[in-house]
Chain A
Amino acid sequence: GIQVEQSPPDLILQEGANSTLRCNFSDSVNNLQWFHQNPWGQLINLFYIPSGTKQNGRLSATTVATERYSLLYISSSQTTDSGVYFCAPNNAGNMLTFGGGTRLMVKP
């Protein structure tokens, strides 16, 4: 099956800083989603982005499917951004394959 690697595994930021999270995948994909898992365990949809760039407030994502990677940008980070960010490509039509996640802590 497809392999998904996320980097960095852990990230500590000061409030207000910007960051870039990376997701590499080993095979071509039909689509890709980014999720934020908050400290209560909820998985929140951030982006559905099979290719190109999308923006939602302080967050934006870019997927370059031909080069098999996706990036998630967080600008002006806030303490509420803390949690784990997952990348999940879908290359088999039905199932999402999750990476190991990037654990983000934003300090006030």
Chain B
Amino acid sequence: DSGVTQTPKHLITATGQRVTLRCSPRSGDLSVYWYQQSLDQGLQFLIQYYNGEERAKGNILERFSAQQFPDLHSELNLSSLELGDSALYFCASSAGTGQPQHFGDGTRLSIL
């Protein structure tokens, strides 16, 4: 058990819809990271938050957004969903920049 909690585990929705993925980091970790794992792109970094502020951005689409709340949990919002957004979305947390990242079990998103 990594200590990182992601909900829901599975999500099935239709094209054009909007979903929210939730992540609770390990106790004491201030950094939260989001990654996407798809068949064609592999595992890629989306975005990082540190103590409520956006710290780094990767290959995140404009249709996607994230935030980190005062209690340090984070949400990833995906809108105007397309078939290609079907993927496994991971959240990771660490104590700080450059520290080991610990991954949650992921949310498997299926777009029909």
Contacts and interface: CB of A to CB of B under 8 A. Distances in A.
A96 B42 contact: no
B16 interface: no
B102 A45 contact: yes
Contact of B88 (A35, A41, A95): A41
B42 A30 contact: no
Interface in B60-96: 88, 90, 92
Interface string A13-37: 0000000000000000011010100
A31 B96 CA distance: 13
B44 A98 contact: yes
A88 to B, nearest CB: 8
B8 interface: no
Contact of B106 (A33, A35, A41, A96): A41
Nearest to B50: A94
Contacts, number: 50
A94 B56 contact: yes
Interface string A74-108: 00000000000010101011111110110000000
A39 B26 CA distance: 24
Interface residues of A, number: 21
B103 A92 contact: no
Interface in B1-54: 2, 31, 33, 35, 42-45, 48
Given A42-B106, A45-B2, A98-B43, A90 B98 contact: yes
Given A30-B98, A35-B103, A45-B100, 19 more contacts: A31-B100, A33-B100, A41-B105, A41-B108, A42-B105, A42-B106, A45-B2, A92-B56, A93-B56, A93-B97, A93-B98, A94-B31, A94-B56, A95-B33, A96-B35, A96-B101, A97-B45, A98-B42, A98-B43
Give 7 nearest A-B pairs by CB, closest first: A94-B56, A98-B43, A95-B45, A48-B100, A43-B103, A94-B48, A93-B97
Interface of B: 2, 31, 33, 35, 42-45, 48, 55-56, 58, 88, 90, 92, 97-98, 100-103, 105-106, 108
